[in-house]
């Protein structure tokens, strides 16, 4: 709802049409589906390439690089994405993000050596990293406040849908067919997003008020009076341009240090749950466990659970405290990883259902806590003048940790066994539970200024 004037001292409210906002969000989030297919590709493919009789043999060490190089690519893609979007525009930069995706899939299709796979995965990761920065930015700038939360949740849902898409298609088609079908997602994105308007916020920042007005009228409808919203955009653009910040601002106050420690700690712990290792090596884990369900089918069930829980998470994340969700999530993750380790350590092959149960609950717990909450809190903990720099550092920490986990997951399993490896992650999640309870501030239901006041000790911090 937007106010557009006053009658008897009370604001008149107007509500824009939602169709183009949903269309642009869904179109942009086709890139998120593409990111999910990049994440899930290794699970159905690596077991086939690990066979000495495969047309392109990939050993365990090479497979760990095939999985983990995506994370390095994500860092490379994410760091400059925001700056390019500021210079070239949101729409052009998002459209250009399809290039590394498509190039990577073409390389995978025609790969005849492992080095080509390495480079293809690096390119795919560049697309994923840029997507994680650009698409949420575009959605936030086109969305009406009344539906911003719902539209924002579509991003995470589409990543989960892409993972499921990759698992399902990978289970029924060939190596080449999977790459071609996954590439079709980016083709569909280009065909639809080309027609979407540019972000009116970016246009206003460029001084292109007439174009910003036209774009906003498309997103809100012809009957919507855009003048007040345009004025607010202009004021925000002027205030942002007038503020200067430096890296020292991230640590020069108590509140800044708390925000930095909490935000970056959460993003590191998000990857230390082992989530990407589970996605990348899902089929391998089930095959090693001798699960009573076929590995490909088990991976599909887990991805389906993650999709469903991503929908549920969108409805509960603003109704339950952030800390409650984080503590619940890490506690359940610790239990799931402990019992999964116990299964492998004691060789409980008679309980073939246990790995499926543990990893299903793992996905449930991740989807309601450590999946959506860390990135959400980065947006809440940092003030506007340091949010850009903090987001770049956050991307590096998050994907850097993802690289370490996915690269050395197979190495740890080989050196210490599956049981000890999962127990290591379980121990980290026990620490994450303490971190969420004692360190992370609660932000639910508070304005950004209230959060900053509490972080700096100006008012008492309370659990919402």
pLDDT at 319 over 60: yes
- Angle at CA of residue 144, ends 139 and 145, nearest 5°: 100
Distance (Å, rounded) from C-alpha 36 to C-alpha 15?
A: 33
Distance (Å, rounded) from C-alpha 128 to C-alpha 133?
A: 9
Lookup: tokens for 325: 């969700």
Place of tokens 């540019």: 198
User: Which domains does the chain possess?
Assistant: 19-196 (1.20.1250.20), 248-464 (1.20.1250.20)
pLDDT digits (tens, 9 = 90+) for 391-443: 778 888 888 898 888 788 878 888 888 889 999 999 999 999 999 999 888 87
Q: What is the pLDDT of residue 459?
A: 59
What's the pTM value of the predicted model, to 2 decimals? 0.77
pLDDT digits (tens, 9 = 90+) for 270-315: 999 988 777 766 666 667 666 666 777 777 887 888 788 878 877 7
Confidence of residue 253 (pLDDT cuts 50, 70, 90): confident
Q: What is the DSSP letter of 197?
A: P
Distance (Å, rounded) from C-alpha 211 to C-alpha 95?
A: 19
Residue range 249-262: mean pLDDT, rounded: 80
pLDDT at 10 over 50: no
Lookup: tokens for 284: 């391998």
């Amino acid at each position: 709802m937007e106010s557009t004037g006053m009658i008897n001292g009370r604001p008149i409210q107007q509500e824009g049409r939602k169709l183009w906002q949903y269309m642009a969000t869904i179109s942009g989030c086709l890139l998120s589906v593409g990111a999910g297919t990049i994440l899930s590709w290794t699970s159905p493919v690596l077991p086939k390439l690990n066979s000495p009789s495969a047309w392109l043999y990939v050993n365990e060490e090479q497979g760990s690089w095939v999985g983990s190089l995506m994370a390095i690519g994500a860092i490379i893609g994410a760091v400059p994405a925001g700056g390019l979007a500021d210079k070239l525009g949101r729409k052009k930069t998002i459209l250009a993000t399809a290039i590394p995706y498509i190039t990577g899939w073409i390389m995978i299709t025609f790969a005849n050596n492992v080095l080509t796979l390495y480079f293809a995965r690096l390119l795919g990761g560049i697309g994923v990293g840029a997507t994680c920065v650009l698409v949420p930015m575009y959605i936030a700038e086109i969305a009406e406040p009344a539906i911003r939360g719902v539209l924002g949740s579509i991003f995470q849902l589409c990543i989960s849908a892409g993972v499921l898409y990759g698992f399902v298609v990978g289970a029924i088609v060939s190596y080449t067919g999977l790459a071609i079908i996954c590439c079709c997602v980016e083709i569909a994105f280009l065909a639809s997003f080309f027609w979407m308007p540019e972000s009116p916020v970016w246009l206003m920042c460029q001084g292109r008020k007439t174009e910003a007005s036209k774009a906003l009228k498309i997103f809100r409808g012809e009957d919507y009076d855009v003048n007040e919203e345009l004025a607010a955009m202009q004021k925000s653009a002027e205030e942002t341009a007038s503020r200067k910040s430096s890296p020292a601002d991230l640590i020069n106050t108590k509140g800044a240090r708390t925000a930095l420690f909490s935000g970056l700690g959460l993003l590191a712990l998000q990857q230390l749950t082992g989530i990407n290792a589970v996605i990348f090596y899902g089929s391998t884990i089930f095959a090693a466990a001798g699960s009573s369900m076929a590995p490909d089918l088990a991976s599909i069930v887990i991805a389906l659970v993650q999709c469903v829980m991503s929908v549920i998470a969108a409805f509960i994340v603003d109704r339950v405290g952030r800390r409650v969700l984080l503590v619940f999530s890490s506690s359940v993750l610790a239990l799931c990883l402990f019992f999964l380790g116990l299964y492998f350590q004691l060789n409980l092959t008679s309980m073939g259902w246990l790995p499926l149960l543990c990893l299903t609950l793992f996905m449930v717990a991740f989807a309601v806590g450590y999946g959506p909450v860390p990135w959400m809190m980065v947006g809440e903990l940092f003030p506007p003048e340091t949010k850009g720099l903090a987001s770049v550092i956050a991307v590096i920490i998050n994907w850097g940790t993802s690289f370490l986990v996915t690269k050395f997951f197979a190495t740890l399993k080989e050196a210490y066994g599956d049981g000890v490896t999962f127990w290591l992650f379980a121990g980290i999640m026990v620490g994450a539970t303490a971190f969420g309870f004692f360190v992370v501030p609660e932000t639910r239901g508070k304005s950004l200024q209230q959060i900053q006041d509490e972080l700096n000790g100006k008012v008492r911090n309370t659990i919402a």
